[in-house]
Every structure is written in C-alpha cells, then in structure tokens.
Chain A
C-alpha cells in the first residue's frame, strides 16, 4: 500500500477511463487497508481508488508499478479479489496513505462483484501499456528550499492546485453542458415537428378518419408517453390507457391492499404517492402516472377505486368498503360521543384528519349529520331533523 499516492482523482489529458467498479476495498498485503469501501477506477495510466463517502479521500498508483496480478476466488464469507504484485515505490513518489509497507503486493476486494470484467480490462491495459506511448503531464512541485520547505509547499500548493483543477473541471463541464444543450435545442426543431405531427394524428383518431387499428392507437399513445406530449385523445374513463399504466394499476392493486385495510379502507392519493415512491427508491412514478393508473382500476376489475370528493381531494378506496357502511359507522361514532370534530374523529379511527373530514362531510351530505360551524371549529352532530 506504500506505492499509492494521494490524488485528486481527475484524469489528465490523454488519460482515459477504462472501467470503474463500486464496492471495492483495498488490502495492504493480507491486511485490510485503513480505508473504507470505495470505487476502484482503472485508467490507461493509473489505478485509482476513491472513498465512496468522502470524495476527497482518493489515491492513485501508476500502472507501471505492477509486476503481475492474479485472481483470488471468493470463499465463504469472502469476496473475490485481485492480487496485484508491485515494484518497489520510486524515491520521488508523492506522499500517500502509507509511508511503508511490509508487503510487496496489494489486493482489491470486490464486495459488489465486478472482478471478472475488472480483471479482463486490467489484463488488456497491462498488455497494451498505453501509458508508455501517451505520456501525461505530471504535476511536479517546484521548490528549491530545504526539504521541510518543499514538503510544506507540496502540501498547500497541492491542495490549492486540487481546488483550482476541480473548479476548472467543473466550469469546463458546465459550459460544455450548456453548449451541448443549445445544440440539442437546434435538433429540437425536429421534436417540435413531431409534436405537431402527433396532434394531427390525434385529431384523425378523434375524428375517426381512416382505419387506425387498436394496436396502432396504443403504439401512438406510448410514443406520446415517451415524449411527454399531452394526449388529446384521453378518454376520461380510461385515462391515457397505455400498457404501462395497466401494468401499474395491477401492481398498485396488489401493493395497496394491506395499507388500505390498515387505514380504514381509504387513502389520500398524495399518501399513496409517497408510499409507493418510497418503496420503489428509484424509477419513481410521476403524479400523472399514478392518477392514470388509478383511473384504470374499474376497467381492469381490480378491487380498488379512485374517487374524487367535492372538495377536489382524490382518494383510493377499497371497493369492499361500501359507502353506506362508512356513513352508518360515522353516524354511530358521532351519536355515541354526542358530537365530533374532524380531528376527534380522526383520532378515534386512526385516519388522517383530511379523510375523516371528508367522511363526515359525506355523511352530512346524505342527511345523517348536521354541522355547527363556529370559529372554534367545525363540529358534527347527528341530524335530528
């Protein structure tokens, strides 16, 4: 491990990244290095390792240090490894995490696999030895003072240089990105044509001009979905009705059964959105995806329904929970307690305040409850009229 030097991990000009792999731990010989798990990067010139949590912690070693390397198969409770045997470090090597080591080899432990590909690429690079034909600019510290002074200069100047390089790199990335974005915008003219084209097609479908097959309509809708173009052929009952949404609706049907039971048969759509997306972690649903999927419950004969209250609040409810039952039980609760506010009702049933209010309002609409509306709040009483 004393062959490694601290690095900013930025690639030099003429240096290319070959492969990178997460979940790699370094070993000093047979001992775990005093570093955490990180990302191993192989370039045409160097082997680089960066701590996954602390990006500042980054080390690198020229590939010319490598004598040979071999695979070490995984065992029980042990990840697969690549053992790399090394030349001694040169005298002018930049400081690194280890001053010296009793081992002439290191290991890369692949905790998240990837060793096969890494090994293959390493073999390629060590065969081609591209670093010999395309030298990169080495940042050599210039210092003519005494040894101690030189080390200090490397320290501070090194850090400053790191920051400057990082800033330049970031700036370069950003301006390049904006340039490319404007180039994309030019190509975007085609996209605009496409949008107009899609409108024309949609109108034809609506007006039933020509015999567009069901299949083609579905295909067309999925194109619109991919591009994020609003579909003017939306049928209210089915939403946007693509296969994607049908699948989603079925998944939701499975996923929401238990949570709905726990919450008295009803959940606000925003609650469903959070629940589902938290569970997914990535490839999240958009709010529109969720609404469009829920709109398909009825046509797919799933035991859930999307329902919109007068206030505009949208909920998913279990079909088994009938309206009459809910209202009857609301009336029971209110009668028992004499009167209830939405907050009290919510606490009683373990529902959210929003939904318990909707339930009380519904019961009122059906004539079973009446309200006492004051600045102290909205309170419901059984309707004795």
Chain B
C-alpha cells in the first residue's frame, strides 16, 4: 500500500510548487518592469509633445499651473518631487517652484528679527513679487503655497496657519498649538489682542489667556505694549499693516530696546 500526500514525496511536490510559484513571481515582476518602462516611454513622448508647444504657458500663466497641478494630483504623481523628474526636465515646472522656494526662505529670514518668523501670506506675496522685479514671471498665492508645502520637507518649521480668510506663514519651528492659533486668529482684525478680549470672545480663564500670550512673547511672535491706555496690548508684528509699521533694521531695533 503506498501512502501518498505525505512524506518525502509530498515535501518534494511542495518544493516544486513553491519553486514554480517563485519563478512565476519572478517573471511577473520582471515583466511588469519591462511593461512599465514601455509605458514610461509612451508617456514621455506625449509629455514631450505637450512641452514643445506649451512650455512657456506653464511659466507665464498661474491659472494654467493650477490646472496642471490638479491633473498631476489625479494621476498620483508629484511633479515637484525631483529636479530630475520628467516634469522638471521637460516642462521646467521644477525650476519655477524651487526658485520660488529660495525667495520665500530669503524673505522670511530677512524679516524674522521683526516678526519672529510669522508672516501673512499677503505680505510674503508682495515682498516676493518686489524681489523678483518688473520683468519676472507672475507668481500667485497658489504658487507660494505649493512652494511652501515642498519646503516643509527640509524641517525648519515651515507651515501655514489659517487666519481670517487667508494664511499666516510660519518659518521657524516654534511650537504653536490650537490655543496659540486661535489667539492669532483673534488678533488678526486689529493686529493686537488683550487679555480681556480673549476672555470675552473665547470664554477662557485668565491663566489660560496669559499662558498663551506669554508663549507668543517668548517666541518673539508678539510684542507687549504695557503703556497702552486701558490694559496691556499684545501686538503681532506679522499682522502689522503698511499704515502702522515702518521697516527697521536689526541694528536700529537693538538701539531701540531699553
């Protein structure tokens, strides 16, 4: 009587099946890579054709860039991931945003002594446009936001805080939680906020309000005006408008502090 299914024979059979599966697995993956490289070639030539006609459009037209970015999002590709990607090499999308990234970093660095590393998207936009000069390509706020998203990769605390219908751009790794954000949003209307206002609008206790304001002071994001009529006012330089501020160099600032 032969016993089948168990023993050396069964083991051998299993091994054979495994080997076959493994082989098939190999072929499948290799096949797939070949298939992928073919599809890549097709896509590359489609993109080249598109680029040859419309490369300028990407650089000149911010609305076009938005459409383009949304198309990439639906595919699931990030055209800004690498300077070595097709998108950068053929369409030049990369250079546009990476250069913008450099300009954003430089503006934030230049103003950090004044606003502690927090700036409105509007002000950032204006200053970047000024820095680019008359003949440079137009830059929209959407462009800025995409560039900032990319900068996050490098640590250093780049982030965007929604405030009053727009955004505050943070460029330092200061810890800002929900409480801080909410106070910033409250301060947005007038550029400053008081403890009473926080208590009235947010229904917080005094300690909580003071804790948050102290943190903002320490991080250099808020300035204290203790001589204001009534009660002390906490001003946020990031929210200063043209009317209430004048640019001051770090040297001047040092001379002014008592």
CB atoms of A283 and B47 under 8 A apart: no
**Binary interface encoding of chain A residues 296-332 relative to chain B, with 1 for a CB under 8 A from any of its CBs, else 0:** 0000000000001101111000000000000000000
Complex Cα gap A227–B25 (Å) = 25
* Count of A interface residues, CB-CB < 8 Å: 69
**Binary interface encoding of chain B residues 126-170 relative to chain A, with 1 for a CB under 8 A from any of its CBs, else 0:** 000000000100000000000000111111110000000000000
Stretch of B98-106, B180-188, B193-201, B236-244 contacting A (4+ beta carbons < 8 Å) = B98-106
Judged by a CB distance under 8 angstroms, whether A150 is at the interface is: no
CB atoms of B80 and A313 under 8 A apart: no
CB atoms of A219 and B54 under 8 A apart: no
CB atoms of B78 and A230 under 8 A apart: yes
Judged by a CB distance under 8 angstroms, whether B249 is at the interface is: no
Describe A's contact surface by its main secondary structure: helix
CB atoms of B36 and A375 under 8 A apart: no
Q: Considering the complex, give the chain A residue whose CB is closest to the CB of B64.
A: A177
Residues of B within 8 A of A190 (CB): 39, 42-43
CB atoms of A201 and B32 under 8 A apart: yes
CB atoms of B25 and A313 under 8 A apart: no
Judged by a CB distance under 8 angstroms, whether A373 is at the interface is: yes
CB atoms of A197 and B218 under 8 A apart: no
CB atoms of B54 and A226 under 8 A apart: no
Residues of B within 8 A of A181 (CB): 50, 54, 64, 67-68, 71
Judged by a CB distance under 8 angstroms, whether A336 is at the interface is: no
Complex Cα gap A173–B155 (Å) = 40
Say how far A77's CB is from chain B's closest CB, in angstroms.
30
Residues of A within 8 A of B83 (CB): 283-286, 289
CB atoms of A313 and B157 under 8 A apart: yes
* Given A227-B85, A284-B95, A286-B94, 4 further pairs, Cβ under 8 A: A177-B54, A190-B43, A227-B40, A288-B153
The interface of chain A, by Cβ under 8 A from chain B, is 53, 173-174, 176-178, 180-181, 184-185, 187-188, 190-195, 197-198, 200-201, 204-205, 209-212, 216, 219-220, 223, 225-230, 244, 268-270, 273-274, 277-278, 282-291, 308-309, 311-314, 353-354, 373-375, 377-378
The interface of chain B, by Cβ under 8 A from chain A, is 22, 25-30, 32-33, 35-37, 39-40, 42-44, 46-47, 50, 53-54, 56-57, 61, 64, 67-68, 71-72, 74-88, 94-95, 98-99, 101-102, 105-106, 112, 135, 150-157, 172-173, 214, 217-218, 224
For this complex, 25 residue pairs linking A to B, each with C-beta atoms less than 8 Å apart, are A173-B57, A174-B57, A177-B54, A177-B57, A177-B64, A178-B64, A181-B50, A187-B43, A190-B42, A192-B75, A197-B35, A204-B32, A210-B30, A216-B30, A219-B33, A228-B80, A269-B156, A270-B105, A277-B102, A282-B95, A283-B95, A285-B98, A286-B82, A313-B173, A378-B218
> Top 10 A-B pairs ranked by shortest CB distance?
A314-B155, A210-B26, A210-B25, A284-B98, A228-B81, A177-B57, A210-B29, A228-B77, A269-B154, A228-B78
